[in-house]
């Protein structure tokens, strides 16, 4: 009979029992060595082509190195490498910003991409975000990685049927899996999320220097967790600051004052300071009296707010039909209403008529003042709705250390804590937790972790000394 199947068919040759059932194994086909070599060469050629198209710069560098080695020798190659290193060091020393943009950030991004790709399958599977479907494990697709010295932003394309909530529920697993301090899930386009990994804590900053040319839409008051400056917008918005006692609200308020001080000196900005506690803002009272107004008594605060409302309405009548936006001028300066403890005026004030009068003035300023150059910055400890009923009239909100997890969503909006704003976990140690906050802007619902610069008493004295003609000796307070 003609053999139909070729190959080796081996029976049980070494079994002495002639009645034993034979055990067959599959045929073995001998592939010629030339075909194996050809397949390997084709795969190598394909890998080289993909490398050239995916990494043209690296491929060009390798080609130049090879040609230099062959044509000019290794001595010339070493000399060229040393010259390139010297040029890069000089570039980094003399022009750090351009070096970071064109060399540092791309190189860091490539390195971090390799780090994530190396552990991607294992971490996704063990963390529970790689679903099992029809006998296969489906991995979310790793996208672009943007890295700074402190954070990584990883774009992830979701598996069909997944949502951002699936990743938010396993954020701790992802942080530990990739060796990060913290992982936050940011919303992106449909079918994708951004994983923000915090690798180093950048939030340890003193008071920032006073800017020479302040921008009311970007006042530097601290640092973000990704290492970038924390810029607060005041022109065209209102800001609500909530935090427990000792959370660092005073440093943030004084940081805003320091950042605006050059504009206050030129007359383009004035501040109306309401200080019912008679503690934080009173230390620099001369600053507000020189470039605005200061009031501590509730009746005086109500009169100051009523005057602000009257001035705003007069400005509205003059702007009507002429302009829709406000530009600070000497005649119409940008006015900031700074309230240190607004809850004492809106909820704990025993005089009901006075409380209603203050609440009406604040409501009028927050609803009509944005386009007219009026901004309300209010700080409070208790963010409950019955304490401040106009809480939703503040577009931008800052939540510092809070006492209860439920208070986070009261300040930053629904779902803020699920997106990583764990304000109740901020340390109560002033050295590590004072000034730390989460910010939710009107234009971006995702909270960002920041820290305000620490404004010392000496910094406030320096500002006050510039408002006093003759130098005044400040009394020292015993610690």
115-198 and 219-465: same fold?
Answer: no
**pLDDT value for 25:** 61
Q: What is the DSSP letter of 103?
A: I
**pLDDT value for 333:** 92
3-state secondary structure of 269: strand
Count CB neighbours of 382 within 10 A.
17
Mean pLDDT of 428-446: 80
Mean pLDDT of 364-378: 92
278 pLDDT band, cuts 50/70/90, is confident
Domain boundaries, the chain: 115-198, 219-465
Mean pLDDT of 330-358: 88
5: pLDDT strictly greater than 80? no
Mean pLDDT of 51-71: 79
Sheet architecture: strand order including 182-187: 141-147, 151-157, 192-198, 182-187
Q: How far apart are CA 375 and CA 372, in angstroms?
A: 9
Q: How far apart are CA 42 and CA 61, in angstroms?
A: 24
Q: How far apart are CA 424 and CA 403, in angstroms?
A: 6
Taking only the tens place, the pLDDT of each residue in 393-418 is 899 999 999 988 888 888 888 888 87
**pLDDT value for 7:** 43
Given its phi and psi angles, is residue 415 left (phi above 0), alpha (psi -120 to 50 degrees) or beta? left
468 pLDDT band, cuts 50/70/90, is low
**pLDDT value for 65:** 81
Dig out the tokens for 450 from the structure. Answer: 């920041």
Q: How far apart are CA 225 and CA 449, in angstroms?
A: 6
Question: Rounded to the nearest 5 degrees, what angle is found at the Cα of 197, between the Cα atoms of 194 and 199?
Answer: 160
Q: How far apart are CA 10 and CA 82, in angstroms?
A: 64
Mean pLDDT of 303-321: 91
Count CB neighbours of 17 within 10 A.
7
List, in order, residues 6 or more apart from 29 with CB less than 8 Å away: 6, 7
Mean pLDDT of 376-384: 88
Beta strands in 317-443 (DSSP E): 334-339, 374-380, 396-399, 436-441
Query: Please, are residues 350 and 313 in contact by the beta-carbon 8 Å criterion?
Result: no
The CATH class given to the 219-465 domain equals: alpha beta
What does the mean pLDDT of the chain come to?
A: 84
Taking only the tens place, the pLDDT of each residue in 140-150 is 999 999 888 88
Task: Work out the angle between the directed axes of helices 33-54 and 56-72 (0-180°, nearest 10).
Answer: 110
Q: How far apart are CA 231 and CA 62, in angstroms?
A: 43
DSSP state string for 427-445: -S-HHHHTTEEEEEETTEE
Query: Please, are residues 302 and 359 in contact by the beta-carbon 8 Å criterion?
Result: no
Q: How far apart are CA 401 and CA 244, in angstroms?
A: 6
Q: pTM for this structure? A: 0.70
18: pLDDT strictly greater than 80? no
Distances (CA, A) of 140 to 54, 114, 157, 159, 174: 21, 16, 6, 5, 13
241 pLDDT band, cuts 50/70/90, is very high
Taking only the tens place, the pLDDT of each residue in 105-114 is 888 888 899 8
DSSP run (H or E) holding 413: none
Q: Which residue reads 């440093």 in tokens?
A: 251
Beta bridge partners of residue 374, listed in sequence order? 335
Beta bridge partners of residue 192, listed in sequence order? 157
474 pLDDT band, cuts 50/70/90, is very low
49: pLDDT strictly greater than 60? yes
1 pLDDT band, cuts 50/70/90, is very low
Q: How far apart are CA 255 and CA 398, in angstroms?
A: 14
Percentage of the chain exceeding pLDDT 90: 29
Q: What is the DSSP letter of 282?
A: G
Taking only the tens place, the pLDDT of each residue in 189-207 is 888 999 989 887 666 566 6
123 pLDDT band, cuts 50/70/90, is very high
Query: Please, are residues 226 and 202 in contact by the beta-carbon 8 Å criterion?
Result: yes
**pLDDT value for 15:** 60
Q: How far apart are CA 227 and CA 234, in angstroms?
A: 22
Percentage of the chain exceeding pLDDT 70: 90
3-state helix, strand, coil in the chain (%, to 5): 40, 20, 40
List, in order, residues 6 or more apart from 72 with CB less than 8 Å away: none
The distance from CA 277 to its chain's CA centroid, rounded to whole angstroms, is 32
User: Lowest-confidence range among 10-14, 218-222, 252-256, 296-300?
Assistant: 10-14
Q: What's the alpha-carbon Rg for the chain, to the nearest Å?
A: 33
Mean pLDDT of 52-63: 78
408, 413, 414, 418: CA torsion to nearest 10: -50
Tell me which architecture the domain covering 115-198 has in CATH: 2-Layer Sandwich (3.30)
């Amino acid at each position: 009979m003609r053999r139909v199947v070729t190959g080796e068919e081996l029976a049980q040759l070494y079994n002495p029992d002639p009645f034993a059932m034979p055990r067959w194994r599959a045929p073995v086909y001998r592939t010629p060595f030339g075909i194996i070599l050809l397949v390997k060469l084709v795969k190598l050629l394909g890998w080289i082509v993909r490398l050239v198209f995916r990494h043209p710069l690296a491929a060009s560098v390798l080609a130049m190195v090879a040609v230099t080695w062959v044509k000019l020798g290794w001595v010339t190659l070493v000399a060229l490498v040393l010259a390139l290193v010297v040029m890069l060091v000089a570039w980094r020393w003399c022009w750090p910003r351009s070096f970071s943009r064109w060399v540092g950030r791309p190189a860091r991004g490539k390195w971090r991409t390799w780090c994530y790709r190396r552990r991607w399958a294992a971490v996704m599977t063990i963390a529970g975000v790689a679903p099992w479907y029809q006998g296969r494990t489906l991995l979310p697709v790793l996208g672009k990685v943007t890295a700074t010295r402190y954070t990584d932003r990883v774009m992830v394309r979701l598996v069909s049927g997944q949502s951002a909530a699936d990743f938010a529920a396993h954020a701790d697993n992802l942080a530990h899996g990739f060796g990060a301090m913290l992982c936050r899930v940011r919303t992106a386009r449909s079918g994708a999320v951004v994983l923000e990994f915090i690798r180093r804590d950048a939030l340890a900053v003193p008071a920032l220097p006073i800017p020479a040319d302040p921008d009311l839409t970007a006042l530097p008051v601290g640092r973000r967790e990704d290492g970038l400056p924390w810029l607060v917008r005041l022109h065209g918005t209102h800001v609500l600051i909530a935090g427990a006692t000792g959370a660092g609200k005073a440093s943030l308020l004084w940081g805003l004052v320091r950042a605006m001080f050059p504009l206050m000196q030129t007359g383009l900005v004035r501040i109306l300071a309401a200080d019912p506690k008679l503690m934080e803002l009173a230390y620099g009272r001369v600053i507000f009296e020189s470039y605005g107004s200061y009031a501590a008594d509730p009746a005086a605060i109500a009169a100051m707010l009523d005057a602000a409302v009257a001035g705003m309405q007069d400005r509205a009548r003059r702007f009507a039909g002429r302009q829709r936006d406000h530009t600070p001028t000497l005649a119409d300066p940008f006015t900031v209403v700074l309230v240190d403890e607004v809850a004492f005026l809106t909820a704990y004030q025993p005089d009901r008529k006075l409380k209603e009068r203050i609440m009406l003035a604040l409501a009028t300023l927050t609803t009509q003042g944005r386009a007219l150059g009026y901004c309300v910055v209010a700080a409070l400890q208790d963010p409950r709705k019955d304490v401040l009923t106009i809480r939703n009239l503040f577009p931008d909100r800052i939540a510092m250390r809070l006492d209860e997890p439920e208070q986070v969503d009261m300040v930053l909006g629904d779902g803020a804590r699920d997106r990583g704003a764990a304000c109740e976990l901020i340390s109560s140690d002033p050295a590590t937790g004072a000034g730390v906050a989460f910010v939710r802007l009107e234009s971006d619902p995702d909270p960002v972790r920041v820290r305000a610069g620490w404004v010392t008493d000496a910094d406030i004295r320096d500002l006050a000394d510039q408002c006093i003609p003759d130098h005044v000796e400040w009394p020292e307070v015993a610690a």
